[in-house]
C-alpha cells in the first residue's frame, strides 16, 4: 500500500484472484451503489468477527456500498450471560434462568433505544445483539450472521434464542453442518482474511526479528506457536501438554500468544490458569500486536490451533496463508480448512498433536510441502473478495423488496433484470 491509511480496494486483489473476478465483483457492487448496510456486533477487537468486519466493511465502502459497523454496549453481567450462552451453543452447560434472560434482553432494549437503524440491510452478528430485532419496525431485510458452531447446542438455550432468530429474514452460518431446524432461510459463508493487513502482509526479516526480540522470544530453537483468545475451547492446556510430550523427542520453544476480548469475561481466568506452566521454553504472552501475530505465524516451524470446538478458526487461515505447517483440532471450521496430510494435519487428542509436532519438527521438506499447499488453498478459498461477493449476492437477493423504494430516481439500466422483473411493489 502506498499510504498507510489508503484502504484496500478490490483491484488490489487482481494479482491474487484475477481480473475476471475483480470485474465481476465491481459489476455486482455497481448495481448496489449507495446501499446502506448496518453491521452490529459486540466488540471492535479481539476475535474473528472484529477481524473480518474491519476489512469487509472497508472493502465494501471502497466498492460503493455504504457499510457501517456499530457496537452494542454491555455491562459485565450482560457479557457474562452472553459468554455462557456462547458456551451453551457450543455444547456447554448453562442454567438460563429468568434473571439472565432479563439482563440479556434488558441491555439490548437499552442499546436499541440509542440506535438509529435506518438502513437498507441490517446484519446482526452473533448472539449478543440478536434480540435487537424485537425493537425496530422492519423496513428492510435483517440478517443474523452467526459465527458460532451450532451443531450441538444446548436445546433450552437454542429454543430461547430461536424465538429471536425466527424474526430475521435470513441467517448466515459458517458451515452447512451448523444448520438448525428453522423456517428462516439459512446460508453458509465461510470467513475470509485480508492479506494486506499488518497481520497478514509479508514482513521483512528485520521487522520480524524486532517483534520477536521485543517480547523476548528466543529463536535459537524451532518455534511451536498457538495464537488464540484465551478460551477453554481453544484448549491451550492441551497445547502445553502436547508440547511437553513432544519435547521428550525434539527441542523447541512453545509460544502461546493470546488476548482477551471485551465480550469474554472468562478470558482472564483462562490466562491466569496457564501461568503456572510457564518456563524457559514455554512462553505465555498476552499482547494486542498484529505484527507479533504475523511474525509468529510466519516464523514458527509449527503452528497449532488445537481447538475442541471452533466455528471457523481464522487463525488457521492466517497461518496457512503464511505457508505455515499447521496442526488443527479436528472440529468445526478447522476440518474444512485443513486437508489432512495435504495442507496441514488434523488431530483429535493431545498425543496425536504431540506426534505431529515431532514429525513436523524433524522434516523440513514436509513442512514446506504442507505450507505451500496451505497457502494455495487460502488463496483459492479464503480471501476477502470471496466473502464480499457472497454478501453482495445476498443483498441483491433482497433487492426487489426495497431498491426502487430507496432510490426513486435510480438509473434502472444498472439494476439487474431479474430484480426488476421480480419486484412486487
Ligand atoms: N488474535 C490476535 N491476537 C491474539 C489472539 C488472537 O490478534 O493474541 C486474532 C487472530 O489473529 C484472529 C482472531 O483474533 O484474527 C481470532 O479469530 P478466530 O476465528 O481464530 O477465533 P475467535 O477468537 O473468533 O473465536
| Closest atom, ligand 1, to C-alpha of 333 | 19
The residue nearest atom 14 of ligand 1, judged by CA position, is 47
Q: What percent of the chain has pLDDT over 90?
A: 85
* Residues sharing a CB contact under 8 Å with residue 288, sequence separation 6 or more, in sequence order: 45, 46, 259
pLDDT at 310 (0 to 100): 94
Distances in Å between the Cα of 408 and the Cα atoms of 339, 397, 422 are 49, 19, 17
Q: What separation in Å is there between the alpha carbon of 31 and the centre of ligand 1? A: 34
Is 254 a residue whose pLDDT tops 90?
yes
CA distance 10 to 23: 9
| Closest atom, ligand 1, to C-alpha of 261 | 23
Q: What separation in Å is there between the alpha carbon of 372 and the centre of ligand 1? A: 23
Residue range 353-410, pLDDT digits in tens? 999 999 999 999 999 999 999 999 999 999 999 999 999 999 999 855 544 343 444 3
pLDDT at 3 (0 to 100): 60
Please state the φ and ψ torsions of residue 88, each to the nearest 5 degrees: -65, -35
Nearest CA among 91, 56, 65, 96 for reference residue 80: 96
The residue nearest atom 22 of ligand 1, judged by CA position, is 47
Residue range 210-220, pLDDT digits in tens? 999 999 999 99
> To test ligand 1's pocket by mutation, which of 44, 46, 47, 268 has the most ligand atoms within 8 angstroms of CB?
47
Nearest CA among 40, 145, 180 for reference residue 394: 145
Q: What separation in Å is there between the alpha carbon of 130 and the centre of ligand 1? A: 22
**What domains lie within the chain, and their CATH numbers?**
10-192+383-415 (3.40.50.2000), 205-381 (3.40.50.2000)
Q: What does DSSP say about strands 223-227 and 253-258: parallel, antiparallel, or unpaired?
A: parallel
The DSSP symbol for 241 reads H
pLDDT at 400 (0 to 100): 53
Is 179 a residue whose pLDDT tops 50?
yes
Pick from 75-89, 240-254, 395-409: least confident: 395-409
Nearest CA among 138, 356, 97 for reference residue 249: 356
Is 72 a residue whose pLDDT tops 50?
yes
Distances in Å between the Cα of 20 and the Cα atoms of 27, 56, 65, 126 are 11, 20, 20, 33
pLDDT at 260 (0 to 100): 83
Distant-in-sequence contacts of 337-340, Cβ < 8 A, 24+ apart: 337/312, 337/313, 337/377, 337/382, 338/374, 339/373, 339/377
* Cβ < 6 A, ligand 1 pocket: 47-48, 51, 199, 227-229, 257-259, 290, 293, 312-315, 318
- Binned at pLDDT 50, 70 and 90, residue 236 comes out as very high
| Closest atom, ligand 1, to C-alpha of 234 | 25
CA distance 202 to 229: 23
Let me know: does 159 contact 126? Beta carbons within 8 Å: no
Is 206 a residue whose pLDDT tops 70?
yes
Q: What separation in Å is there between the alpha carbon of 315 and the centre of ligand 1? A: 6
**What average pLDDT does the segment 4-12 reach?**
89
Pick from 12-16, 181-185, 328-332, 412-416: least confident: 412-416
Let me know: does 258 contact 230? Beta carbons within 8 Å: yes
pLDDT at 94 (0 to 100): 81
> To test ligand 1's pocket by mutation, which of 41, 42, 51 has the most ligand atoms within 8 angstroms of CB?
51
The DSSP symbol for 120 reads S
Residue range 102-145, pLDDT digits in tens? 999 999 999 999 999 999 999 999 999 999 999 998 889 999 99
Is 9 a residue whose pLDDT tops 60?
yes
The residue nearest atom 25 of ligand 1, judged by CA position, is 47
Instruction: Please report, to the nearest 10 degrees, the dihedral formed by the alpha carbons of residues 242, 243, 248, 252 taken in order.
Output: 160
Any idea which residue has 502506498 for its cell? 2
**SS3 at position 172:** strand
The residue nearest atom 11 of ligand 1, judged by CA position, is 315
Nearest CA among 177, 192, 266 for reference residue 229: 266
| Closest atom, ligand 1, to C-alpha of 45 | 14
pLDDT at 408 (0 to 100): 41
Let me know: does 5 contact 196? Beta carbons within 8 Å: no
**SS3 at position 304:** strand
Nearest CA among 141, 398, 364 for reference residue 416: 398
Pick from 33-37, 43-47, 87-91: least confident: 43-47
Q: What separation in Å is there between the alpha carbon of 138 and the centre of ligand 1? A: 33
Is 60 a residue whose pLDDT tops 50?
yes
What is the overall mean pLDDT for the chain? 91
The DSSP symbol for 196 reads T
Q: What separation in Å is there between the alpha carbon of 259 and the centre of ligand 1? A: 8
Q: Does pTM top 0.75 for this prediction?
A: yes
Q: What separation in Å is there between the alpha carbon of 229 and the centre of ligand 1? A: 6
Amino acid at each position: 500500500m502506498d499510504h498507510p491509511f489508503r484502504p484496500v480496494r478490490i483491484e488490489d486483489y487482481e494479482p491474487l484472484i484475477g481480473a475476471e473476478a475483480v470485474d465481476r465483483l465491481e459489476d455486482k457492487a455497481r448495481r448496489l451503489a449507495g446501499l446502506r448496510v448496518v453491521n452490529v456486533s459486540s466488540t471492535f477487537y479481539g476475535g474473528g468477527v472484529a477481524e473480518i468486519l474491519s476489512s469487509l466493511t472497508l472493502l465494501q465502502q471502497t466498492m460503493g456500498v455504504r457499510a457501517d459497523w456499530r457496537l452494542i454496549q454491555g455491562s459485565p453481567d450482560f457479557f457474562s450471560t452472553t459468554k455462557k450462552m456462547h458456551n451453551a451453543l457450543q455444547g456447554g452447560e448453562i442454567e438460563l434462568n429468568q434473571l439472565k434472560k432479563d439482563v440479556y434482553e434488558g441491555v439490548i432494549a437499552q442499546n436499541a433505544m440509542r440506535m438509529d437503524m435506518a438502513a437498507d440491510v441490517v446484519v446482526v452478528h452473533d448472539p449478543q445483539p440478536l434480540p435487537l430485532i424485537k425493537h425496530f419496525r422492519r423496513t428492510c431485510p435483517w440478517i443474523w450472521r452467526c459465527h458460532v458452531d451450532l451443531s450441538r447446542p444446548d436445546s433450552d438455550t437454542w429454543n430461547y434464542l430461536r424465538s429471536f432468530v425466527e424474526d430475521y429474514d435470513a441467517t448466515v452460518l459458517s458451515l452447512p453442518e451448523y444448520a438448525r431446524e428453522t423456517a428462516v432461510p439459512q446460508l453458509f459463508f465461510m470467513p475470509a482474511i485480508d492479506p494486506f493487513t499488518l497481520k497478514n502482509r509479508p514482513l521483512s526479516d528485520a521487522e520480524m526479528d524486532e517483534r520477536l526480540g521485543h517480547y523476548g522470544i528466543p529463536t535459537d530453537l524451532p518455534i511451536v506457536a498457538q495464537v488464540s483468545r484465551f478460551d477453554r475451547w481453544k484448549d491451550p492446556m492441551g497445547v502445553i501438554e502436547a508440547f511437553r510430550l513432544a519435547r521428550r523427542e525434539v527441542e523447541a520453544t512453545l509460544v502461546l500468544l493470546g488476548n482477551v476480548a471485551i465480550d469474554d469475561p472468562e478470558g482472564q481466568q483462562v490466562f491466569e490458569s496457564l501461568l503456572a506452566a510457564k518456563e524457559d521454553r514455554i512462553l505465555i504472552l498476552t499482547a494486542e500486536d498484529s505484527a507479533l501475530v504475523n511474525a509468529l505465524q510466519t516464523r514458527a516451524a509449527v503452528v497449532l490451533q488445537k481447538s475442541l470446538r471452533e466455528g471457523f478458526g481464522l487463525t488457521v487461515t492466517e497461518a496457512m496463508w503464511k505457508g505455515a505447517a499447521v496442526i488443527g483440532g479436528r472440529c468445526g471450521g478447522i476440518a474444512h480448512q485443513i486437508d489432512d496430510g495435504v495442507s496441514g494435519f488434523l488431530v483429535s487428542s493431545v498425543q496425536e498433536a504431540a506426534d505431529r509436532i515431532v514429525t513436523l519438527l524433524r522434516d523440513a521438506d514436509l513442512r514446506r510441502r504442507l505450507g505451500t499447499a496451505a497457502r494455495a488453498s487460502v488463496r483459492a478459498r479464503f480471501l476477502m473478495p470471496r466473502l464480499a461477493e457472497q454478501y453482495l449476492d445476498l443483498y441483491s437477493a433482497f433487492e426487489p423488496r426495497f431498491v426502487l423504494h430507496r432510490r426513486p430516481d435510480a438509473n434502472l439500466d444498472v439494476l439487474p433484470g431479474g430484480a426488476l422483473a421480480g419486484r412486487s411493489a
